[in-house]
Structure 1
Amino acid sequence: MHPLFHYFTPEFHQEDLPSLWQELCDHYTADEKLMVAELQQLVPDTPGAANLAATWLTTLREQPTSKFDLHSLLSQFSLNSDEGLALMSMAEALLRIPDAETAYALVEDKLDSADWEQALGSSESTLFNTSIWGIAMGQRLVSQDSSPSGLYASVRRRLGRPALLQAMKLIMRSLGENFVFAENIQDACDKRCDYDPELSQFSFDMLGEAAVSGQDAEHYFNAYLNAIETVGLQNSTADTTISIKLSALHPRFENLKNRRVFQELTDRLLQLIVAARAVDVGITLDAEEADRLELSLNLFKELLRTDLVIGWGKLGLAVQAYGKRALPTLAWLEHLGRELDTPIPVRLVKGAYWDAEIKQAQQLGLEDYPVYTLKASTDIAYLVCARFLLSEQCHSLVPEFATHNALTAAQLLEIPSNKPIQFQRLHGMGDGLYQQICREQRLPCRIYAPVGDHRELLPYLVRRLLENGANSSFVFKANNRSIPINSLLKSPIERLKQTSALRNPRIPLPGDIYANTRRNAESFNYGSSKALLALRNELDRFEQKTWHATPLISGERHQGTESTAIYCPHDIEKQIGILDTATPDQIKQAFTDAYRSWPEWRDSPVSERAGVLTRYANLLEENRVELIQLCMHEAGKTLRDAIDEIREAIDFCHYYAAQAVSQLNSRELISVTGESNELQLKGRGVFLCISPWNFPLAIFTGQIAAALVTGNTVLAKPSSKTSLIAYRATELWLEAGLPASALQLLPYSGAELSDLLLKDYRLAGVVFTGSSATASDLFATLAQRLGAPLPVMIAETGGLNAMIADSTALPEQIVKDVVRSAFASAGQRCSALRVLYLQEEIADAVTEKLIGATQELKLGNPHRFDVDVGPIIDQPAMDELHQHIELARSQGRLLYELPVGTEHDPGYFVPPTILRLHTMDELAGETFGPILHIVRFPAERLMQVVEEINRSGYGLTLGIHSRNSQTIHHIVDIAQVGNIYVNRDQIGAVVGSQPFGGMNLSGTGPKAGGPHYLQRFVQEKTITQNSTACGGNRQLLMDADGD
């Protein structure tokens, strides 16, 4: 990569578009320290900016405040405070709740969570204090106090619920006025007339959630089209533009779907551009998350190259300075504009998704973050980007600066440039500041004005505010008179020096977030087209490869009784390998070898055993591409599922290795003087590890890793459906330095062969993942052993998993989480969602959205990166699922079934399907595939729903979607479920963070990937020695002498 100063040199003009694109891609997760160090050297000198900004702020604070708006709210309440969070949480949810009872329950929940009376009289705003007084009175009305005054309040509560609820909604609407410019585009155009056209211009945005269905995308398209046409009729002098969110126009706006996105979205955008050009209304494409940047820029390039756009100069886009690719993006855009001789308006913003970017980078284990981790670094990057935009060598880009920071605005004015400057601000923020700037500088300010229904827009905007840490933002501190003005005007360079770091020391790199527990294995950067192309090329090298799995006994391959051809579940004519199954004699030999080698392995140092796990994890990383191919071909896993599978296996190894080192070494225990006590933890013996086909690498690895690191030897029995993966993994275990006799691979099927192992007196333990019925059979067989100790049995079994969503939940979030929970991995996860409970008041709307989102899924060959749902594992499983669907169809309970075509004929495919139930009791057990059942419930039956789930006997995973913390706590307390997920999907448990395992019929515990798991694999031995047996207590005598 070129150093950043390269973009300010004459050599920059000699670059071509492809090389600049490569530079842009290479900066995705570039080293933050190196980048910030470079940026510091490029910050423009603005010596008078602080004094100018101080003048503005002094004048701003002298203005009287009379409104109850966001400024007064967040000047009084930090979003870290109970009051701030409660009020914003209420604003996020209250207006969209359709039923009064649930709405009142939310009000009660939020009012009880804060102390409102302490804020009375703390503001000079009469309206602010009146509003807070109303909230404080509301808190008294919902108080559960049993004192006389509390009883009086209780009476008032019963009499005043409707009035209280209406008052809270009015307060929320008052807050909404700060966010939402107008509820429809005509009102927005009319309201625009209240502003001075020479100083205020507008960019209207029909903001809202990203589309989750084709119907959503069509709705937003029509809204944008209507906005363009309406604005165009009245736009003769106002120069109003329209901001467009690309993810609102396509339900699958993501890099893995780039081919489909280009085909469908390009035409849709061109229709909008045709309409916009006809009435000369400019269009700006909004910035979105980092993993959508490359897709957005490529789409923008295609649009700009059309005859319709070349030379127009009114198709622009937003660039987020907090992203490490911001400056390279501007450089690429500059060359693109020059190449096409077309001006490109660029709205430079600081960034809107910071929290989400940090979280996603950690979830994916990326090498670094795509954004800066210090706000000072973002401010520095903003100024450097501004310097580039205002420089003489930047001819094609038309700069538009969106900021609410007085210091930043003053610094922009001091950057030497002959270019005109346009400022931009969000409606409701920075009004007083820009009134001064625009009058003094005679510069226009474009107001970014959200337009839409309060019920839809307010929740969206509040979440953006909460996610982006707006309480630390300059605009809210600027209005807080308790904060000295000088403290707000430190330059970002000065603030960065105060931190003594070039990156945030409180935010570790994504790979280091688990500190001493384990290393966070890297997933994959799906937003990088370069990475995807490289992976495709690497996978193609294994396309024709075949594998041959046999029993591996003490490191030696053994020919089995019979050879079986292995075919892809998505293409039953494509052979990918051969499986030889173990003979009875081979099983006996493997057991003998494992038993004989156990003492030596048991007595080896814990650090040595842990080292084998670490080396094996490294080999999984090194052989990741081959393992991805195997997971796709043999297990039918999609790209994401295959990568997650390998990552989980790696995480198990690092976690159990660290746990073993910290837990398993001998330790001295407290004792009386003259005596020593030592506790030793030793492996139990030979463990039989029986792993399933649905996680053929992760669970296979996790079971074996736990048994080995605790000093046991292992007989590994993988599923015959995925033995090729198990065989390759076993080869890697041996390559990692594991003694050959410590791990025996025994692919076989049949109860008779299982009995050879289960009835052997030498068996110390069984680790099993599979069905509850098979687990019961194993327990019964083990119990029949006479004259042998009962071995340890660790069983993780299935679940009839539910999700409960009340009417406070956000429908779009419910839908996204349900689709992933129910249909990822073709529903072939023990944790997958089977039954969705929807509160009646939102059931119709959510079901409609859910069906729309399911229609967008792609069913097919998992080797294709754009496929969402792969095949079922085999014919019997497929037939059973089809029978379940056909029964529901005959009973009129089928709500939706994704169409299948002739392209699915070669494989075992079951389409994502949604069925209707009256109660979970109608299900006899698991439906292990992509089938979701929906049950509606009235709000007053919520606790009965939980009891119904408990009554099923299963207890593996449960999802809860609610904004009411009391509701969440009640469900959590009552539900007999091992893993509960709140306001997110309910699959993909993370090792060490979400230990996995169920209750009742769903498993024995302890939880895999948790702090207590290894304890089940060891025996405890205590050694007590009387150190004074031969006379004298040396230590006591030394203590007495003070030595």
Structure 2
Amino acid sequence: MEEQVKIKACMHIGGEWIGEELNSKNVINPANGETVGSFPIGGEKETQMAIDAAHRAFETWSEITAYERAGYLKKLYHLMLENQEELAQTMTLEMGKPINESRGEVVYAATFIEWFAEEGKRVYGETIPSHVGAKRLQVWKKPVGVVAAITPWNFPAAMLTRKMGPALAAGCTVIMKPSGESPLTAVKLMELCEEAGFPKGVVNLVTGSSSKITKTLMEDERVRKITFTGSTEVGKILIRQSADQVKRLSLELGGHAPLIVLDDADIDKAVKGVMASKFRNAGQTCICANRIYVHAGVYEAFIEKFAEQVGQLKVGDGMDESVAVGPLINQSGLEKVSHHVKDAVAKGATVVTGGESIDSSNGVFYKPTIVKDVDASMVVMQEETFGPVAPVQKIYSDEEAIKLANSTPYGLAAYIFTENVARGTKLIEKLNFGIVGWNDGAPSAAQVPFGGMKESGIGREGGHEGMDAFVESQYVSIGME
């Protein structure tokens, strides 16, 4: 597979590509250290231009019918599928994800556009029985306004479409601000939006200084909604910054997902589920299994089969079709993973397989790793690792599993493996997580609500609930006399 030419990206504001005259920053392929492109470093001025453009476009975009908006979204959906390979290669080159995973992400990202193209037609109002004969009581639904979508590097297509889809379908206009680690996929999506014929200013793209762009977005009262995926620490900052204008927020924040294997689980099924959850995107996902709790009765059998599967994973450049685990995003990520493993070993854990970085002059790789006999004193069980490390702790009861799983400020995703329906139901009822995979290591889909409890966020993305964040309920009381 031949690599593409380097991409010199621009911003897209009000229907125009701009920013060539600005200073730029290189995008580095973490698999080999090579520059794959660059993007302009925009700031307050460019963000203000995007807000102006989105605000102007909102008046007309919000007034056309949901069916007309769906038409644009359907065009974008088909264009994404037609350009799947280009989008996937761009994604892999800029952030390292194995090419087959990137192809899958493009399809997954496109399903959000398709789903919300249809769901926008089902934003229903309401007629309420009146307590007074001469009144008619109604609830109207209105788009919230200009929306700013701030997204992370690890899913550069899906995180954008999961926000763009419902916002655009509801009648909002959008300003996209992708991560500086992986902005080129967003540029490609913006090109497809332009090809789909979206009116000028409906979709805008700004790149550059996160602090300056975010500050401008938060201070402008015309931006009525911020939708953000990223760390809990940044999410808390956005909450504080939103207070002055009471901006609406959707926040999908950090996770520290537990995965529980009970003694009646199908071990082969459990291992398959852990593999699907833990090592996708080299463990750099917010819902991947970070803490694995296995009942003592099946502990050794589970680790044996798990290690056999992990040992078969090929690590390398994501552009290689046979690679299952790509690089970490940068050196800082590698150092964090290494620290977690070393801390666990120093405190008595044992490395079953992996446990070290892969010597590479330019790439950022860490071997898929299993660490057994871990406990709560170890950093790996307290912090989100964001890497290909699976720590396994022995448990002795369902009650212990629940206590350990819930012993975190995060509540995004959890996983359980048991063949007993009553036991699984009781367990899930006590787990404080927004998403639970029961005998399922890959629960995400466009038609379901995605989001967390506690410090893992506010609101839900996907499903019919995904529309709620982008519409306001307006109560109308009509006097008939």
Match in the other structure for 2:389: 931
1:718 to 178, 184, 202: 178
Please give the alpha-carbon distance, in whole angstroms, between the structure 1 residues aligned to 2:413 and 2:377: 17
Please give the alpha-carbon distance, in whole angstroms, between the structure 2 residues aligned to 1:803 and 1:924: 14
Unaligned runs of 5+ in 2: none
In our comparison, the structure showing a higher alpha carbon Rg is 1
Match in the other structure for 2:286: 830
1:660 to 120, 144, 155: 120
Match in the other structure for 2:452: 998
1:729 to 174, 189, 194: 189
Specify the code of the residue in structure 2 equivalent to 1:732: L
Q: When you count helix as a share of all residues, which structure comes out higher? A: 1
Match in the other structure for 2:216: 756
Please give the alpha-carbon distance, in whole angstroms, between the structure 2 residues aligned to 1:903 and 1:627: 29
**SS, match of residue 720 in structure 1:** coil
Q: Does 1:870 align with 2:326?
A: yes
Please give the alpha-carbon distance, in whole angstroms, between the structure 1 residues aligned to 2:288 and 2:194: 33
Q: Does 1:709 align with 2:196?
A: no
**SS, match of residue 777 in structure 1:** helix
Please give the alpha-carbon distance, in whole angstroms, between the structure 2 residues aligned to 1:682 and 1:842: 54
Please give the alpha-carbon distance, in whole angstroms, between the structure 1 residues aligned to 2:24 and 2:138: 52
State the 1:561 CA deviation.
3.4
Matched-pair contact (CA < 8 Å) for 1:921–1:952: no
Task: Note closer, same or farther for the CA distance 1:967–1:921 as it changes in structure 2 (3 Å cut).
Answer: farther
Unaligned runs of 5+ in 1: 1-538, 1030-1043
Q: Does 1:588 align with 2:48?
A: yes
Residue-by-residue CA offset, 1:842-871 (whole Å, 9 max, x unaligned): 111211221121111100111111111011
Residue-by-residue CA offset, 1:517-555 (whole Å, 9 max, x unaligned): xxxxxxxxxxxxxxxxxxxxxx54xx2322222221112
Match in the other structure for 2:139: 679
State the 1:605 CA deviation.
1.1
Q: Does 1:546 align with 2:2?
A: no
**Structure with the greater relative contact order (CA < 8 A, sep ≥ 6): 1 or 2?**
2
State the 1:749 CA deviation.
2.6
State the 1:658 CA deviation.
1.3
Task: Note closer, same or farther for the CA distance 1:890–1:951 as it changes in structure 2 (3 Å cut).
Answer: closer
Match in the other structure for 1:915: 371
State the 1:745 CA deviation.
0.6
**SS, match of residue 458 in structure 2:** coil
Please give the alpha-carbon distance, in whole angstroms, between the structure 2 residues aligned to 1:841 and 1:732: 53
Specify the code of the residue in structure 2 equivalent to 1:998: G
**SS, match of residue 722 in structure 1:** coil
Specify the code of the residue in structure 1 equivalent to 2:221: Y
Specify the code of the residue in structure 1 equivalent to 2:390: L
Matched-pair contact (CA < 8 Å) for 2:355–2:370: no
Please give the alpha-carbon distance, in whole angstroms, between the structure 2 residues aligned to 1:902 and 1:599: 54
**SS, match of residue 45 in structure 2:** helix
Match in the other structure for 1:890: 346
State the 1:834 CA deviation.
0.7
Match in the other structure for 1:743: 203
Total equivalences in the alignment: 477
Residue-by-residue CA offset, 1:856-915 (whole Å, 9 max, x unaligned): 110011111111101111121122212222223333424234387977443111211122
Please give the alpha-carbon distance, in whole angstroms, between the structure 2 residues aligned to 1:648 and 1:814: 24
Q: Does 1:556 align with 2:16?
A: yes
Please give the alpha-carbon distance, in whole angstroms, between the structure 2 residues aligned to 1:1002 and 1:881: 21
Please give the alpha-carbon distance, in whole angstroms, between the structure 2 residues aligned to 1:777 and 1:850: 39
Matched-pair contact (CA < 8 Å) for 2:260–2:293: yes
TM-score under structure 1 length normalisation = 0.44
Q: Does 1:963 align with 2:419?
A: yes
**SS, match of residue 741 in structure 1:** coil
Match in the other structure for 2:463: 1010
Please give the alpha-carbon distance, in whole angstroms, between the structure 1 residues aligned to 2:357 and 2:249: 45
Please give the alpha-carbon distance, in whole angstroms, between the structure 2 residues aligned to 1:1017 and 1:902: 45
State the 1:586 CA deviation.
1.3
Matched-pair contact (CA < 8 Å) for 2:39–2:208: no
State the 1:1001 CA deviation.
1.3
Please give the alpha-carbon distance, in whole angstroms, between the structure 2 residues aligned to 1:848 and 1:900: 20
Q: When you count strand as a share of all residues, which structure comes out higher? A: 2
**SS, match of residue 765 in structure 1:** strand
Please give the alpha-carbon distance, in whole angstroms, between the structure 2 residues aligned to 1:700 and 1:809: 36
Matched-pair contact (CA < 8 Å) for 2:57–2:200: no
Please give the alpha-carbon distance, in whole angstroms, between the structure 2 residues aligned to 1:687 and 1:722: 21
Residue-by-residue CA offset, 1:582-636 (whole Å, 9 max, x unaligned): 1321111111221222222211211111211111101101111101111211121
Specify the code of the residue in structure 2 equivalent to 1:859: V
State the 1:699 CA deviation.
1.0
Residue-by-residue CA offset, 1:721-768 (whole Å, 9 max, x unaligned): 111100110111121121121122111234233211112222211101
Matched-pair contact (CA < 8 Å) for 1:649–1:701: yes
% identity of equivalent residues: 28
Match in the other structure for 1:566: 27
State the 1:674 CA deviation.
6.0
Task: Note closer, same or farther for the CA distance 1:917–1:591 as it changes in structure 2 (3 Å cut).
Answer: farther
Match in the other structure for 1:989: 444
Match in the other structure for 1:851: 307
Specify the code of the residue in structure 2 equivalent to 1:1010: G
Please give the alpha-carbon distance, in whole angstroms, between the structure 2 residues aligned to 1:624 and 1:778: 33
Matched-pair contact (CA < 8 Å) for 1:690–1:718: yes
Please give the alpha-carbon distance, in whole angstroms, between the structure 2 residues aligned to 1:577 and 1:946: 46
Residue-by-residue CA offset, 1:226-283 (whole Å, 9 max, x unaligned): xxxxxxxxxxxxxxxxxxxxxxxxxxxxxxxxxxxxxxxxxxxxxxxxxxxxxxxxxx
Task: Note closer, same or farther for the CA distance 1:599–1:917 as it changes in structure 2 (3 Å cut).
Answer: farther
Match in the other structure for 1:69: none
Task: Note closer, same or farther for the CA distance 1:679–1:737 as it changes in structure 2 (3 Å cut).
Answer: farther
Match in the other structure for 1:502: none
What is the CA RMSD across the aligned residues, in angstroms? Answer: 2.0
TM-score under structure 2 length normalisation = 0.94
Task: Note closer, same or farther for the CA distance 1:544–1:598 as it changes in structure 2 (3 Å cut).
Answer: closer
**SS, match of residue 944 in structure 1:** helix
Specify the code of the residue in structure 2 equivalent to 1:965: V
Match in the other structure for 1:950: 406
Specify the code of the residue in structure 2 equivalent to 1:1008: E
Specify the code of the residue in structure 2 equivalent to 1:931: V
Specify the code of the residue in structure 1 equivalent to 2:394: R
Matched-pair contact (CA < 8 Å) for 1:835–1:920: no
Matched-pair contact (CA < 8 Å) for 1:835–1:932: yes
Specify the code of the residue in structure 1 equivalent to 2:395: F
2:159 to 699, 703, 706: 699
